[in-house]
Chain A
């Protein structure tokens, strides 16, 4: 998961992210961003996520932990 923060920053269209950042605080946060995260996780980690799971993760760290729990 070492590239996780970099990949997520690209999807969220920002230079960097903090683990404590709330997902909904990003300007780019919308259903397409969620779909891009689902695609990233399928590609990079072989993990299947739903939109609800991602929304419920609330923060960047929550998302990271969610993915880790499924690897």
Chain B
């Protein structure tokens, strides 16, 4: 589905990364593979460093930390927030919504629109879409989009396919009306028939957590995990990304009447180095225009990763210049989403550590 918005802008982006860093080489013994196999994987996939929270930390903790940073530095005033949008798959609690946990912790006004959207790696454009729609309301002038995922808590320590690339992060994106804002084009696609491609089987109503769902079993590739853990069909995800994402971006550009050459940067969700390089090759986009360095530096944190990609790689340019940027997310659902928009002259575009 194609989407179009006008007179909207992003005015600031903040990424929040836990201070604790884990190196792939330090945890090779957790996996059932030879050292040489793992080192090859490091080279090709970009497994290296990743950031994770200490146990007991919640998505709302990272968001509150980041929002307080914005309040303290004069980037945001509490009373100016008219809506909180949260993109998150593993919340603080099943009940109530995490946006309201945050509202309560910060003492935000009651006259606030709170909405939580359970989306994973395709979630960053989804949060922006929701903000653009909310800004059509007369009483909503400033939307705070939150992306927060602590997926390290849901990935098995003995799953070499997922564990070494999983990181934790949160991001805060401020979205406002802009009378001068040009058109913003978007696409969203969903395919629930492939829901089991990326799934946490237990913990919900279908399979409540119990002693059995915590039992570890080993698959044919030598990875061990329990039903409480996230399971990813790596080959199906790879084929999904290479088949659907180039087509989505071509559709978006056609809809917007733009060309690849006009786009300054293709900022994608960051699953791993291998798939991103293949994606750039297939789209015939130079690697300089499609960064793929986030997994090796910080890990893949689901929807916040796209914000980390922006704040880590384009911070200076997004504060000082104006760029035509294509955003693309893709992941569990399956969902794949994109936006083409002018971004720039941001009030802030930073990465901070959570401690």
Contacts and interface: CB of A to CB of B under 8 A. Distances in A.
Given A39-B278, A43-B281, A48-B243, A31 B238 contact: no
Given A30-B33, A42-B242, A35 B221 contact: no
Interface stretch (B14-22, B36-44, B48-56, B116-124): B36-44
A10 to B, nearest CB: 13
A31 B221 contact: yes
B287 interface: no
Interface in A28-44: 30-32, 34-36, 38-39, 42-43
Contact of B221 (A30, A36, A38, A42): A30
Given A30-B33, A31-B221, A50 B236 contact: yes
Contact of B234 (A35, A36, A43): A35
A39 B233 CA distance: 15
B235 to A, nearest CB: 4
B201 interface: no
Contacts of A55: 220
Contacts, number: 42
Given A31-B161, A43-B281, A38 B235 contact: yes
Contacts of B274: 35, 39
A51 interface: yes
Contacts of A32: 37, 40-41, 44-45
A35 B235 contact: yes
A36 to B, nearest CB: 8
